């Protein structure tokens, strides 16, 4: 059995958000799909460890912001690799509060759904929430980001809490390079590419990055990086 076969399944990239009292939180998910059209329903699989899970269970509502291909890794890193227990993820972000009272991310969002939870299924590490769409809107004609595009073009990884996470085996006999990998999110710093979004020119060795440089995806400091071997 080759478990990597499941990576052939197609997905999109979404920010799933919810609320608890006056608190807001959101996270990245790829595991969302439509179930029925009448009434319009969708299902989403959310890790029980995530704060968004707690909020959805409490408020029985969630929103889905559908990300465009142009969504930067920093946006995905912000919602996907940080915890709302440590920071207010909506502080300084562009969003609106929907009719459910849950937030809708408006950065690189091509459309959104607002859902009320009809039922949920306990599937061990995750809960599948089935939501009835109570409001939705298209915001842009830009192309949606697929999960495959995120992996192949953006170089994105899955956090360990993602339903689609698969532990990577290190290939044998790889050449020593000066690429450095973030231990938190899996982002690889390539000296050839640099980090132009943070003002780091292509050709900058990892060792020459300023001490206050942080992972462009998850915000981890340089000390969280390990040389790729
Ligand atoms: Fe990182």
Q: Is residue 184's pLDDT more than 60?
A: yes
Q: Which residues have C-beta under 5 Å from ligand 1, the single-atom ion?
A: 182, 184-185, 187, 215, 217-218, 220
Tens-digit pLDDT profile for residues 108-130: 999 999 999 999 999 999 999 99
Candidates 57, 87, 76; CA nearest to 13 is 76
Contacts of 202 (CB under 8 A, 6+ apart): 191, 192, 193, 194, 196
C-alpha 186 – ligand 1 centre gap (Å): 6
Average pLDDT on 41-48 reads 98
Contact between 7 and 42 (Cβ < 8 Å):
no
Q: Is residue 221's pLDDT more than 60?
A: yes
C-alpha 79 – ligand 1 centre gap (Å): 12
Token pair belonging to 134: 């109570």
**In 3-state terms, what secondary structure has residue 63?**
strand
C-alpha 82 – ligand 1 centre gap (Å): 10
Burial readout 182-191 (b: 16 or more C-beta within 10 A, e: otherwise): bebbbbebbb
Helix segments in 43-136, DSSP class H: 51-59, 73-80
C-alpha 145 – ligand 1 centre gap (Å): 20
Name the β-bridge partners of 99. none
pLDDT band at 168 (very low <50, low <70, confident <90, very high): low
Query: Cα(198)–Cα(215) distance, rounded to whole angstroms?
Result: 10
C-alpha 188 – ligand 1 centre gap (Å): 8
Token pair belonging to 61: 């509502």
Candidates 193, 185, 191; CA nearest to 217 is 185
Name the β-bridge partners of 193. none
C-alpha 206 – ligand 1 centre gap (Å): 14
C-alpha 182 – ligand 1 centre gap (Å): 5
Q: Is residue 197's pLDDT more than 90?
A: no
C-alpha 161 – ligand 1 centre gap (Å): 15
pLDDT band at 85 (very low <50, low <70, confident <90, very high): very high
Q: How far separated are the first and last CA of the chain, in Å rounded? A: 28
Contact between 215 and 187 (Cβ < 8 Å):
yes
Query: Cα(132)–Cα(223) distance, rounded to whole angstroms?
Result: 44
pLDDT band at 175 (very low <50, low <70, confident <90, very high): very low
Query: Cα(30)–Cα(24) distance, rounded to whole angstroms?
Result: 20
Q: Is residue 224's pLDDT more than 80?
A: yes
């Amino acid at each position: 059995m080759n478990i990597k076969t499941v990576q052939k399944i197609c997905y999109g990239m979404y920010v799933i958000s919810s609320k608890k009292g006056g608190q807001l939180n959101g996270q990245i998910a790829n595991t969302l799909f439509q179930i029925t059209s009448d009434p319009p329903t969708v299902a989403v699989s959310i890790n029980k460890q995530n704060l968004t899970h707690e909020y959805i269970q409490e408020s029985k509502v969630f929103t889905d912001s559908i990300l465009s291909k142009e969504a930067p890794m920093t946006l995905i890193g912000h919602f996907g690799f940080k915890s709302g227990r440590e920071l207010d993820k909506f502080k300084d972000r562009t969003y609106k509060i929907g009719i459910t009272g849950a937030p809708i991310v408006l950065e690189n969002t091509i459309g959104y759904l607002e859902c009320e939870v009809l039922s949920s299924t306990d599937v061990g590490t995750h809960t599948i929430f089935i939501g009835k769409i109570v409001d939705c809107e298209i915001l842009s004609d830009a192309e949606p980001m697929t999960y495959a595009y995120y992996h192949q073009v953006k170089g994105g990884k899955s956090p360990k809490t993602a339903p689609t996470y698969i532990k990577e085996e290190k290939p044998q006999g790889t050449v020593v390079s000066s690429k450095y990998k973030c231990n938190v999110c899996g982002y690889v710093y390539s000296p050839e590419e640099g980090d132009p979004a943070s003002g780091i020119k292509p050709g900058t060795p990892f060792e020459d990055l300023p001490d206050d440089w942080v992972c462009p995806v998850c915000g981890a400091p340089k000390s969280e990086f390990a040389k790729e071997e």
